[in-house]
Amino acid sequence: MSRKSAVSDILKQKIKGLKCRECGKLYPPVALHVCEFCFGPLEVDYNYDEIRRHISRERIENGPKSLWRYADLLPVEGPPTVGLYAGFTPLIEARNLGAELGLKKLYIKNDTVNHPTLSFKDRVVAIAITRARELGFTAVACASTGNLANSVAAHAAEARLRCYVFIPGDLEAGKILGSLIYAPTVVAVEGNYDDVNRLCSEVAGEYHWAFVNINIRPYYAEGSKTLAFETAEQLGWKAPDHVVVPVASGSLLTKIWKGFNELKMLGLIDRVDMKVSGAQAEGCAPVASAFKEGRDFIRPVKPKTIAKSIAIGNPADGYYALKAVHESKGALETATDEETVEGIKLLARTEGIFAETAGGVTIAVLKKLAQKGIISKEETVVAYVTGNGLKTQEAVINAVDEVVRIDPSLDSFEKTLKLKEK
Protein backbone atom coordinates (compact mmCIF):
# COMPACT_ATOMS: atom_id res chain seq x y z
CA MET A 1 0.00 0.00 0.00
CA SER A 2 2.74 2.46 0.84
CA ARG A 3 4.35 1.89 -2.51
CA LYS A 4 1.00 2.35 -4.23
CA SER A 5 0.51 5.73 -2.61
CA ALA A 6 4.05 6.72 -3.42
CA VAL A 7 3.49 6.05 -7.07
CA SER A 8 0.61 8.44 -7.47
CA ASP A 9 1.63 11.01 -4.86
CA ILE A 10 4.67 12.32 -6.65
CA LEU A 11 2.97 13.46 -9.80
CA LYS A 12 0.43 15.90 -8.48
CA GLN A 13 1.13 18.25 -11.35
CA LYS A 14 0.45 15.77 -14.12
CA ILE A 15 -2.97 17.15 -15.13
CA LYS A 16 -2.85 20.57 -16.76
CA GLY A 17 -6.56 20.74 -17.43
CA LEU A 18 -9.06 19.73 -20.07
CA LYS A 19 -8.70 20.49 -23.75
CA CYS A 20 -11.19 20.35 -26.62
CA ARG A 21 -10.16 17.67 -29.06
CA GLU A 22 -11.62 19.69 -31.94
CA CYS A 23 -10.82 23.37 -31.36
CA GLY A 24 -8.16 23.13 -28.65
CA LYS A 25 -9.90 25.44 -26.18
CA LEU A 26 -8.64 24.90 -22.61
CA TYR A 27 -10.73 24.33 -19.48
CA PRO A 28 -9.89 23.66 -15.82
CA PRO A 29 -9.89 19.97 -14.77
CA VAL A 30 -13.47 19.90 -13.47
CA ALA A 31 -16.58 17.81 -14.21
CA LEU A 32 -17.07 18.93 -17.79
CA HIS A 33 -17.13 16.94 -21.01
CA VAL A 34 -18.24 19.21 -23.85
CA CYS A 35 -16.58 22.27 -25.33
CA GLU A 36 -19.02 25.12 -24.94
CA PHE A 37 -17.86 26.67 -28.19
CA CYS A 38 -17.82 23.86 -30.73
CA PHE A 39 -19.48 21.01 -28.76
CA GLY A 40 -16.36 18.90 -29.29
CA PRO A 41 -15.26 16.36 -26.66
CA LEU A 42 -12.93 17.47 -23.88
CA GLU A 43 -9.86 15.40 -23.13
CA VAL A 44 -7.41 15.43 -20.26
CA ASP A 45 -4.39 17.58 -21.05
CA TYR A 46 -1.34 16.04 -19.37
CA ASN A 47 1.90 17.63 -18.38
CA TYR A 48 3.98 15.11 -20.32
CA ASP A 49 7.26 16.88 -19.54
CA GLU A 50 6.68 16.25 -15.86
CA ILE A 51 5.51 12.67 -16.48
CA ARG A 52 8.52 11.92 -18.68
CA ARG A 53 10.89 12.99 -15.89
CA HIS A 54 9.51 10.34 -13.53
CA ILE A 55 8.09 7.45 -15.51
CA SER A 56 10.10 4.34 -16.36
CA ARG A 57 9.49 0.65 -16.98
CA GLU A 58 11.02 -0.10 -13.61
CA ARG A 59 8.83 2.36 -11.76
CA ILE A 60 5.77 0.75 -13.33
CA GLU A 61 6.98 -2.80 -12.68
CA ASN A 62 7.48 -1.96 -9.01
CA GLY A 63 3.93 -0.65 -8.71
CA PRO A 64 0.83 -2.47 -7.49
CA LYS A 65 -0.51 -5.45 -9.45
CA SER A 66 -3.48 -3.46 -10.69
CA LEU A 67 -4.07 -0.73 -13.24
CA TRP A 68 -2.80 1.74 -10.65
CA ARG A 69 0.76 0.79 -11.59
CA TYR A 70 0.14 3.20 -14.50
CA ALA A 71 -1.10 5.99 -12.22
CA ASP A 72 1.41 8.40 -13.74
CA LEU A 73 -0.66 8.27 -16.93
CA LEU A 74 -4.10 8.34 -15.33
CA PRO A 75 -6.16 11.48 -14.65
CA VAL A 76 -6.35 11.49 -10.86
CA GLU A 77 -4.47 13.84 -8.56
CA GLY A 78 -4.12 11.82 -5.37
CA PRO A 79 -3.83 8.13 -4.54
CA PRO A 80 -6.73 5.87 -5.65
CA THR A 81 -9.54 5.69 -3.13
CA VAL A 82 -11.77 3.10 -4.77
CA GLY A 83 -11.29 0.18 -7.17
CA LEU A 84 -7.80 -0.58 -5.93
CA TYR A 85 -7.71 -4.02 -7.52
CA ALA A 86 -9.03 -3.31 -11.01
CA GLY A 87 -7.05 -4.35 -14.04
CA PHE A 88 -3.85 -6.31 -14.54
CA THR A 89 -5.88 -9.16 -15.98
CA PRO A 90 -4.24 -12.12 -17.72
CA LEU A 91 -2.88 -11.89 -21.26
CA ILE A 92 -3.36 -15.46 -22.39
CA GLU A 93 -1.39 -17.07 -25.18
CA ALA A 94 -4.28 -18.68 -27.07
CA ARG A 95 -2.51 -21.61 -28.72
CA ASN A 96 -5.62 -23.73 -29.29
CA LEU A 97 -7.71 -20.94 -30.77
CA GLY A 98 -4.69 -19.76 -32.74
CA ALA A 99 -4.28 -23.25 -34.23
CA GLU A 100 -7.96 -23.29 -35.29
CA LEU A 101 -7.70 -19.89 -36.91
CA GLY A 102 -4.24 -20.42 -38.42
CA LEU A 103 -2.63 -17.71 -36.29
CA LYS A 104 0.77 -18.45 -34.78
CA LYS A 105 0.92 -15.80 -32.08
CA LEU A 106 -2.57 -15.10 -30.81
CA TYR A 107 -3.27 -13.67 -27.37
CA ILE A 108 -6.51 -13.00 -25.51
CA LYS A 109 -6.59 -10.07 -23.11
CA ASN A 110 -9.00 -11.58 -20.64
CA ASP A 111 -11.09 -8.91 -18.93
CA THR A 112 -13.83 -11.44 -18.17
CA VAL A 113 -12.03 -11.74 -14.81
CA ASN A 114 -11.65 -8.09 -13.97
CA HIS A 115 -12.26 -7.15 -10.34
CA PRO A 116 -14.89 -6.72 -9.01
CA THR A 117 -17.62 -7.00 -11.67
CA LEU A 118 -16.05 -9.08 -14.44
CA SER A 119 -15.77 -6.59 -17.29
CA PHE A 120 -13.39 -3.92 -18.56
CA LYS A 121 -15.72 -1.33 -17.09
CA ASP A 122 -14.04 -1.90 -13.70
CA ARG A 123 -11.06 -0.05 -15.17
CA VAL A 124 -12.85 3.08 -16.26
CA VAL A 125 -15.01 3.19 -13.14
CA ALA A 126 -12.06 2.90 -10.73
CA ILE A 127 -10.65 6.03 -12.36
CA ALA A 128 -13.98 7.84 -12.72
CA ILE A 129 -15.10 7.40 -9.13
CA THR A 130 -11.69 8.16 -7.66
CA ARG A 131 -11.79 11.38 -9.72
CA ALA A 132 -15.43 12.10 -8.82
CA ARG A 133 -14.49 11.96 -5.14
CA GLU A 134 -11.55 14.28 -5.73
CA LEU A 135 -14.02 16.70 -7.29
CA GLY A 136 -16.26 16.48 -4.22
CA PHE A 137 -19.26 14.54 -5.57
CA THR A 138 -21.45 12.53 -3.21
CA ALA A 139 -23.61 10.85 -5.85
CA VAL A 140 -22.58 8.90 -8.94
CA ALA A 141 -24.61 7.82 -11.95
CA CYS A 142 -24.30 6.37 -15.44
CA ALA A 143 -26.10 5.46 -18.64
CA SER A 144 -25.32 1.82 -19.26
CA THR A 145 -25.91 -1.25 -21.38
CA GLY A 146 -25.32 -3.31 -18.22
CA ASN A 147 -21.65 -3.85 -17.50
CA LEU A 148 -21.05 -0.23 -16.61
CA ALA A 149 -24.12 -0.21 -14.35
CA ASN A 150 -22.76 -3.26 -12.50
CA SER A 151 -19.39 -1.64 -12.02
CA VAL A 152 -20.66 1.79 -10.99
CA ALA A 153 -23.07 0.20 -8.49
CA ALA A 154 -20.32 -1.96 -6.97
CA HIS A 155 -17.77 0.85 -6.70
CA ALA A 156 -20.39 3.26 -5.33
CA ALA A 157 -21.14 0.71 -2.61
CA GLU A 158 -17.43 0.49 -1.80
CA ALA A 159 -17.08 4.28 -1.81
CA ARG A 160 -20.33 4.78 0.13
CA LEU A 161 -21.79 7.12 -2.48
CA ARG A 162 -25.39 7.47 -3.59
CA CYS A 163 -25.83 5.75 -6.92
CA TYR A 164 -28.27 5.97 -9.83
CA VAL A 165 -27.86 3.71 -12.83
CA PHE A 166 -29.94 4.06 -15.99
CA ILE A 167 -30.35 1.06 -18.28
CA PRO A 168 -32.50 0.10 -21.30
CA GLY A 169 -35.64 -1.75 -20.26
CA ASP A 170 -34.79 -5.01 -22.07
CA LEU A 171 -31.42 -5.98 -20.54
CA GLU A 172 -30.35 -9.50 -19.67
CA ALA A 173 -31.46 -10.72 -16.22
CA GLY A 174 -27.86 -11.24 -15.07
CA LYS A 175 -26.96 -7.66 -15.82
CA ILE A 176 -29.97 -6.27 -13.97
CA LEU A 177 -29.41 -8.46 -10.91
CA GLY A 178 -25.71 -7.66 -11.12
CA SER A 179 -26.59 -4.03 -10.42
CA LEU A 180 -29.51 -4.43 -8.01
CA ILE A 181 -27.48 -6.52 -5.57
CA TYR A 182 -25.40 -3.46 -4.63
CA ALA A 183 -28.61 -1.54 -3.82
CA PRO A 184 -28.32 1.47 -6.11
CA THR A 185 -31.39 3.10 -7.68
CA VAL A 186 -31.78 1.23 -10.97
CA VAL A 187 -33.82 3.14 -13.52
CA ALA A 188 -34.96 0.98 -16.45
CA VAL A 189 -35.90 3.27 -19.32
CA GLU A 190 -38.44 2.25 -21.97
CA GLY A 191 -36.20 2.50 -24.97
CA ASN A 192 -32.79 1.49 -26.27
CA TYR A 193 -29.38 2.59 -25.02
CA ASP A 194 -29.35 5.69 -27.21
CA ASP A 195 -32.63 6.80 -25.60
CA VAL A 196 -31.13 6.18 -22.16
CA ASN A 197 -28.03 8.12 -23.09
CA ARG A 198 -29.97 11.09 -24.43
CA LEU A 199 -32.14 11.18 -21.32
CA CYS A 200 -29.08 10.96 -19.06
CA SER A 201 -27.39 13.84 -20.87
CA GLU A 202 -30.45 15.92 -20.00
CA VAL A 203 -30.62 14.64 -16.41
CA ALA A 204 -26.92 15.39 -16.00
CA GLY A 205 -27.62 19.02 -16.87
CA GLU A 206 -30.11 19.30 -13.99
CA TYR A 207 -28.60 17.29 -11.13
CA HIS A 208 -25.25 17.65 -9.45
CA TRP A 209 -24.24 14.03 -9.87
CA ALA A 210 -21.05 12.54 -11.23
CA PHE A 211 -22.31 10.79 -14.36
CA VAL A 212 -19.23 8.71 -15.03
CA ASN A 213 -19.76 8.55 -18.78
CA ILE A 214 -21.16 12.05 -19.21
CA ASN A 215 -19.70 14.90 -17.13
CA ILE A 216 -16.84 12.70 -15.81
CA ARG A 217 -16.24 11.16 -19.24
CA PRO A 218 -12.87 12.80 -19.97
CA TYR A 219 -11.41 11.05 -16.89
CA TYR A 220 -13.43 7.85 -17.17
CA ALA A 221 -12.47 7.18 -20.78
CA GLU A 222 -8.75 7.39 -19.97
CA GLY A 223 -9.10 4.20 -17.91
CA SER A 224 -9.33 2.19 -21.14
CA LYS A 225 -5.74 3.11 -21.96
CA THR A 226 -4.68 0.62 -19.30
CA LEU A 227 -5.73 -2.20 -21.65
CA ALA A 228 -2.95 -1.02 -23.97
CA PHE A 229 -0.42 -0.43 -21.17
CA GLU A 230 -0.92 -3.89 -19.69
CA THR A 231 -0.77 -5.61 -23.07
CA ALA A 232 2.52 -3.88 -23.92
CA GLU A 233 4.05 -4.71 -20.55
CA GLN A 234 2.82 -8.32 -20.66
CA LEU A 235 4.34 -8.77 -24.12
CA GLY A 236 7.70 -7.65 -22.71
CA TRP A 237 7.28 -3.94 -23.45
CA LYS A 238 6.22 -4.31 -27.05
CA ALA A 239 3.16 -3.37 -29.04
CA PRO A 240 1.52 -6.27 -30.88
CA ASP A 241 1.17 -6.21 -34.67
CA HIS A 242 -2.61 -6.28 -34.66
CA VAL A 243 -5.35 -5.81 -32.09
CA VAL A 244 -9.05 -6.61 -32.39
CA VAL A 245 -11.35 -4.52 -30.22
CA PRO A 246 -15.14 -4.52 -29.81
CA VAL A 247 -16.73 -1.20 -30.78
CA ALA A 248 -19.77 0.28 -29.04
CA SER A 249 -19.29 4.01 -28.37
CA GLY A 250 -15.84 3.72 -29.96
CA SER A 251 -14.12 5.01 -26.83
CA LEU A 252 -12.36 1.74 -25.94
CA LEU A 253 -10.76 1.35 -29.38
CA THR A 254 -9.77 5.01 -29.49
CA LYS A 255 -8.13 4.85 -26.07
CA ILE A 256 -6.31 1.57 -26.72
CA TRP A 257 -4.75 3.23 -29.79
CA LYS A 258 -3.92 6.29 -27.68
CA GLY A 259 -2.41 4.13 -24.92
CA PHE A 260 0.10 2.40 -27.18
CA ASN A 261 1.08 5.70 -28.78
CA GLU A 262 1.51 7.33 -25.38
CA LEU A 263 3.94 4.58 -24.33
CA LYS A 264 5.93 5.15 -27.50
CA MET A 265 5.93 8.91 -27.06
CA LEU A 266 7.37 8.45 -23.56
CA GLY A 267 9.98 5.98 -24.77
CA LEU A 268 8.55 3.02 -22.85
CA ILE A 269 8.17 0.99 -26.05
CA ASP A 270 10.24 1.40 -29.20
CA ARG A 271 7.61 1.48 -31.86
CA VAL A 272 3.91 1.18 -32.61
CA ASP A 273 3.67 -0.62 -35.91
CA MET A 274 0.23 -1.93 -35.18
CA LYS A 275 -3.12 -2.29 -36.90
CA VAL A 276 -6.24 -1.63 -34.86
CA SER A 277 -9.32 -3.48 -36.07
CA GLY A 278 -12.83 -3.07 -34.71
CA ALA A 279 -15.63 -5.57 -34.19
CA GLN A 280 -19.33 -4.69 -34.32
CA ALA A 281 -22.53 -6.69 -34.33
CA GLU A 282 -24.16 -6.75 -37.74
CA GLY A 283 -27.39 -5.50 -36.17
CA CYS A 284 -25.65 -2.42 -34.80
CA ALA A 285 -22.73 -1.45 -37.00
CA PRO A 286 -22.73 2.31 -37.55
CA VAL A 287 -18.91 2.52 -37.48
CA ALA A 288 -18.28 -0.60 -39.56
CA SER A 289 -20.80 0.63 -42.17
CA ALA A 290 -19.02 3.96 -42.42
CA PHE A 291 -15.75 2.07 -42.91
CA LYS A 292 -17.18 -0.22 -45.59
CA GLU A 293 -18.88 2.62 -47.44
CA GLY A 294 -15.84 4.88 -47.22
CA ARG A 295 -17.70 7.60 -45.29
CA ASP A 296 -15.98 9.78 -42.69
CA PHE A 297 -19.21 10.50 -40.81
CA ILE A 298 -21.28 8.13 -38.73
CA ARG A 299 -24.92 7.58 -39.62
CA PRO A 300 -26.80 6.45 -36.49
CA VAL A 301 -28.76 3.17 -36.56
CA LYS A 302 -31.46 1.51 -34.44
CA PRO A 303 -29.77 -1.51 -32.85
CA LYS A 304 -31.11 -5.01 -33.29
CA THR A 305 -28.65 -7.55 -31.90
CA ILE A 306 -28.16 -10.04 -29.08
CA ALA A 307 -24.89 -8.24 -28.29
CA LYS A 308 -26.66 -5.73 -26.08
CA SER A 309 -23.53 -4.55 -24.30
CA ILE A 310 -22.27 -3.04 -27.57
CA ALA A 311 -25.67 -2.01 -28.98
CA ILE A 312 -25.00 1.70 -29.33
CA GLY A 313 -26.57 3.07 -32.49
CA ASN A 314 -25.28 6.61 -32.03
CA PRO A 315 -21.67 6.18 -30.89
CA ALA A 316 -20.08 9.25 -29.27
CA ASP A 317 -16.56 8.30 -30.34
CA GLY A 318 -17.51 6.56 -33.58
CA TYR A 319 -15.78 9.24 -35.60
CA TYR A 320 -12.54 8.88 -33.63
CA ALA A 321 -12.66 5.07 -33.65
CA LEU A 322 -13.00 5.16 -37.43
CA LYS A 323 -10.07 7.57 -37.59
CA ALA A 324 -7.88 5.30 -35.43
CA VAL A 325 -8.71 2.31 -37.64
CA HIS A 326 -7.75 4.30 -40.75
CA GLU A 327 -4.59 5.74 -39.18
CA SER A 328 -3.39 2.31 -38.13
CA LYS A 329 -4.44 0.66 -41.42
CA GLY A 330 -6.74 -1.75 -39.61
CA ALA A 331 -10.26 -2.81 -40.59
CA LEU A 332 -13.81 -2.97 -39.24
CA GLU A 333 -15.87 -6.12 -39.59
CA THR A 334 -19.21 -7.36 -38.32
CA ALA A 335 -20.66 -10.57 -36.89
CA THR A 336 -24.25 -11.82 -37.11
CA ASP A 337 -26.06 -13.06 -33.99
CA GLU A 338 -25.42 -16.63 -35.08
CA GLU A 339 -21.71 -15.99 -35.60
CA THR A 340 -21.61 -14.27 -32.21
CA VAL A 341 -22.95 -17.37 -30.45
CA GLU A 342 -20.47 -19.51 -32.40
CA GLY A 343 -17.71 -17.09 -31.35
CA ILE A 344 -18.60 -17.48 -27.68
CA LYS A 345 -18.60 -21.26 -28.03
CA LEU A 346 -15.35 -21.31 -30.00
CA LEU A 347 -13.49 -19.33 -27.35
CA ALA A 348 -14.94 -21.49 -24.58
CA ARG A 349 -14.16 -24.75 -26.38
CA THR A 350 -10.60 -23.83 -27.30
CA GLU A 351 -9.38 -21.68 -24.42
CA GLY A 352 -11.75 -22.31 -21.52
CA ILE A 353 -12.91 -18.71 -21.39
CA PHE A 354 -16.63 -17.91 -21.18
CA ALA A 355 -17.13 -14.49 -22.77
CA GLU A 356 -20.28 -12.45 -23.03
CA THR A 357 -21.85 -11.55 -26.36
CA ALA A 358 -19.42 -8.70 -27.09
CA GLY A 359 -16.61 -11.24 -26.74
CA GLY A 360 -18.46 -13.51 -29.16
CA VAL A 361 -18.58 -10.66 -31.66
CA THR A 362 -14.85 -10.03 -31.19
CA ILE A 363 -13.89 -13.68 -31.68
CA ALA A 364 -16.19 -14.03 -34.70
CA VAL A 365 -14.61 -10.95 -36.26
CA LEU A 366 -11.11 -12.19 -35.40
CA LYS A 367 -11.96 -15.38 -37.27
CA LYS A 368 -13.24 -13.47 -40.31
CA LEU A 369 -10.22 -11.19 -40.44
CA ALA A 370 -7.92 -14.23 -40.26
CA GLN A 371 -9.88 -16.03 -43.00
CA LYS A 372 -9.75 -12.97 -45.25
CA GLY A 373 -6.01 -12.63 -44.69
CA ILE A 374 -6.45 -9.16 -43.15
CA ILE A 375 -4.72 -10.63 -40.12
CA SER A 376 -1.74 -12.65 -41.28
CA LYS A 377 -0.43 -15.87 -39.83
CA GLU A 378 2.83 -14.51 -38.46
CA GLU A 379 1.42 -11.42 -36.76
CA THR A 380 1.32 -11.08 -32.98
CA VAL A 381 -2.39 -10.56 -32.45
CA VAL A 382 -4.27 -9.52 -29.32
CA ALA A 383 -8.05 -9.88 -29.13
CA TYR A 384 -9.75 -7.94 -26.34
CA VAL A 385 -12.41 -9.98 -24.55
CA THR A 386 -14.08 -7.47 -22.30
CA GLY A 387 -16.96 -9.09 -20.44
CA ASN A 388 -18.06 -12.31 -18.75
CA GLY A 389 -20.44 -14.85 -20.27
CA LEU A 390 -22.20 -15.58 -16.98
CA LYS A 391 -23.91 -12.21 -17.38
CA THR A 392 -25.47 -12.98 -20.77
CA GLN A 393 -26.59 -16.58 -20.38
CA GLU A 394 -29.72 -15.97 -22.48
CA ALA A 395 -27.53 -15.74 -25.57
CA VAL A 396 -26.24 -19.31 -25.39
CA ILE A 397 -28.75 -21.18 -23.26
CA ASN A 398 -30.28 -22.87 -26.31
CA ALA A 399 -26.97 -23.36 -28.07
CA VAL A 400 -25.32 -25.83 -25.68
CA ASP A 401 -25.79 -29.57 -25.12
CA GLU A 402 -28.09 -30.89 -22.43
CA VAL A 403 -26.82 -32.59 -19.30
CA VAL A 404 -26.70 -36.37 -19.22
CA ARG A 405 -29.17 -37.53 -16.57
CA ILE A 406 -28.56 -40.86 -14.80
CA ASP A 407 -29.45 -42.78 -11.64
CA PRO A 408 -26.76 -42.84 -8.95
CA SER A 409 -25.44 -46.26 -9.98
CA LEU A 410 -22.43 -47.47 -11.92
CA ASP A 411 -24.77 -49.51 -14.10
CA SER A 412 -26.85 -46.50 -15.09
CA PHE A 413 -23.68 -44.52 -15.74
CA GLU A 414 -22.19 -47.15 -18.03
CA LYS A 415 -25.43 -47.91 -19.88
CA THR A 416 -26.16 -44.27 -20.52
CA LEU A 417 -22.74 -43.06 -21.54
CA LYS A 418 -21.60 -46.26 -23.33
CA LEU A 419 -17.96 -45.30 -22.87
CA LYS A 420 -15.43 -47.60 -24.49
CA GLU A 421 -12.30 -46.66 -22.57
CA LYS A 422 -11.73 -47.16 -18.86
Partner 1 sequence: MAVKVRIPTPLRKLTEGKGEVEGTGKTIGDLLEDLDGKFPGIRERLCDESGNLRRFVNIYVNEEDIRFRQGKETILSDGDEISIVPAIAGG
Residues that bind partner 1 (CB under 8 A): 22, 33-41, 143, 191, 193-195, 197-198, 200-202, 204-206, 211, 213-214, 217, 248-252, 297, 299-300, 302, 312, 314-317, 319
To partner 1, the closest distance from the beta carbon of 250 in angstroms equals: 7
To partner 1, the closest distance from the beta carbon of 148 in angstroms equals: 8
- In the complex with partner 1, the residue whose CB is nearer, 137 or 193, is 193
Q: Which amino acid is at 314?
A: N
- In the complex with partner 1, the residue whose CB is nearer, 63 or 286, is 286
- In the complex with partner 1, the residue whose CB is nearer, 40 or 78, is 40
- In the complex with partner 1, the residue whose CB is nearer, 21 or 59, is 21
To partner 1, the closest distance from the beta carbon of 184 in angstroms equals: 18
To partner 1, the closest distance from the beta carbon of 105 in angstroms equals: 30
To partner 1, the closest distance from the beta carbon of 113 in angstroms equals: 22
- In the complex with partner 1, the residue whose CB is nearer, 251 or 277, is 251
To partner 1, the closest distance from the beta carbon of 34 in angstroms equals: 4
- In the complex with partner 1, the residue whose CB is nearer, 39 or 413, is 39
To partner 1, the closest distance from the beta carbon of 316 in angstroms equals: 5
* Helix (H), strand (E), coil (C) string for the chain: CHHHHHHHHCCCCCEEEEEECCCCCEECCCCCCECCCCCCEEEEEECHHHHHHHCCHHHHHCCCCCHHHHHHHCCCCCCCCCCCCCCCCCEEECHHHHHHHCCCEEEEEEHHHCCCCCECHHHHHHHHHHHHHHCCCCEEEEECCCHHHHHHHHHHHHHCCEEEEEEECCCCHHHHHHHHCCCCEEEEECCCHHHHHHHHHHHHHHCCCEECCCCCHHHHHHHHHHHHHHHHHHCCCCCCCEEEEECCCCHHHHHHHHHHHHHHHCCCCCCCCCEEEEEEECCECHHHHHHHHCCCCCCCCCCCCCCHHHCCCCCCCHHHHHHHHHHHCCCEEEECHHHHHHHHHHHHHHHCCCECHHHHHHHHHHHHHHHCCCCCCCCEEEEEECEEHHHCHHHCCCCCCCCCCCCCCHHHHHHHHCCCCC
To partner 1, the closest distance from the beta carbon of 8 in angstroms equals: 26
- In the complex with partner 1, the residue whose CB is nearer, 237 or 319, is 319
- In the complex with partner 1, the residue whose CB is nearer, 148 or 375, is 148
